Amino acid sequence: MVKVHGRCNLACRYCYLYEGPDRTWRDRPAAAPPEVLDRAATRIAEHADAHALGELALVLHGGEPLLVGAGRLAAFTGLVRERAGRERTVHATVQTNATLLTERRIATLARHSIRVGVSLDGGRPAHNTLRTDHAGRPSWPAAARGTRLLAAHHPEAYAGILTVVDPRTDPVEMYESLLELGPPALDLLLPHGNWTTPPPGLPAMDPRRHGPGVNRPTPYGDWLSAVFDRWWSAGRRETRIRLFEECLALLLGLPAATESLGLDPVNAVVIETDGAIEQVDSLKSAYDTAAATGLDIFRHSFDDALSHPGVAARQAGAAALAAGCRGCPLLTVCGGGNYAHRYRAGDGFSHPSVYCADLERLIRHVAARLGEATTAARPEAIRAAATVAGTPRATTHTRTPRADVTHADVTRDSVTHADVTHAGPAGAGDEAAGGSRAAAATTTGDSR
């Protein structure tokens, strides 16, 4: 992820990036100067060469990246593509609050093959009351107009919508309101909270007494389960929801590529506006300088960043998890949850997720629905589930649904099914990167 602009034209009241404990943004330039962008493009190309990468993911982020203008975003993307070489594909995405989207800017981005991910709190004015500008004026009219222009005029450039879960809203009404904006994909993210600063709706808890297997209220798991039922029962894929697709994939024994679930290593890094190389922004919800590495693109490579202890800790899989997580039957699906959500002041990140019970609620619910489908008509249902979970590809192998980790009514018998490819809104999801593609990182997230 490259932060082309470090400020935002909105002042969302829940923003962990600007209203949270981290203050590093205050001392950085508002916009990345030309020398930072030039060096970033070189470092990305060097990393691609070193690892013989055929594809790169470049996420243009902020702040609000469109504050630099669509033309500058296009120019930087072009520079990255030029230095990466014609033999490589650079998948570029910009994550925006949509208030600055105009038909002309959208056309510029689309012409340069830059997809657009939009951050919204829902599809109604009432859902977005906390998203105001610095004068306290609502952002919804401009954001809705920009999103609708994108969907109407350049749907091929529409990556999807990122929404942070708010259990106080009606889940089905919220989901259906977002569908009205025509997103090809949705990312449903849990608010960034931890054991020291619990997310809204969760009480203060002790991770030693409220980890795996402990019965407690699950407002976020309940909300997500309700949306899953509406999405799963639609009869057709109205949109993609990456969290659900990844959960289904993991239950089917397939790999997944999100930091929210699973044990796949995360190799994401962020280039700040001053050229600093940092870990993902979600860590900034824990404490000041939590994402810092002490590295920068002028003196260090991305391999140096991937060797940093903080990044390495997020690549260690089950070995880096709390003992309760390692012994949990949901381990390979849950994966301990988002790393930032494990934090507790004084103890670090060696805890279960503060959302442990909510994740268990969702995973067991999804497993039960998948179990019902496989019991009803095994081969056909698995193929249908794979189609809902992702784009099917013809295969001849078989896999076994993860009955052992879910305790759901999913048979252990091997079933033939379509393989699943995962393509949530590029750059419109939680912090995630695959393999060595962290040269540009696929890390984005709303700052809640």
3-class secondary structure, 254? coil
pLDDT (tens, 9 = 90+) of the chain, 448 residues, equals 999 999 999 999 889 899 899 999 999 999 999 999 999 999 999 999 999 999 999 999 999 999 999 999 999 999 999 999 999 999 999 999 999 999 999 999 999 999 999 999 999 999 999 999 999 999 999 999 999 999 999 999 999 999 999 999 999 999 999 999 999 999 999 999 999 999 999 988 888 777 676 778 899 999 999 999 999 999 889 999 999 999 999 999 988 767 788 888 777 799 999 999 999 999 999 999 999 999 999 999 999 998 888 888 877 788 888 888 999 999 999 999 999 999 999 989 999 999 999 999 999 999 999 999 887 655 555 555 555 444 433 333 334 444 333 333 333 222 222 223 333 333 333 433 223 333 333 333 444 5
3-class secondary structure, 119? strand
| Partners of 176 in beta bridges | none
Reported pTM: 0.85
3-class secondary structure, 238? coil
Question: HSE of 200 in the Cβ direction (CA atoms, 13 Å)?
Answer: 11
Amino acid identity of residue 184, one-letter, is P
In this predicted model, what pLDDT tens digit does every residue of 169-182 receive, in sequence order?
999 999 999 999 99
DSSP-derived secondary structure letter, 127: G
Give burial (CB, 10 Å; 0-12/13-18/19+) of 92: buried
Helix (H) or strand (E) holding 224: helix 219-232
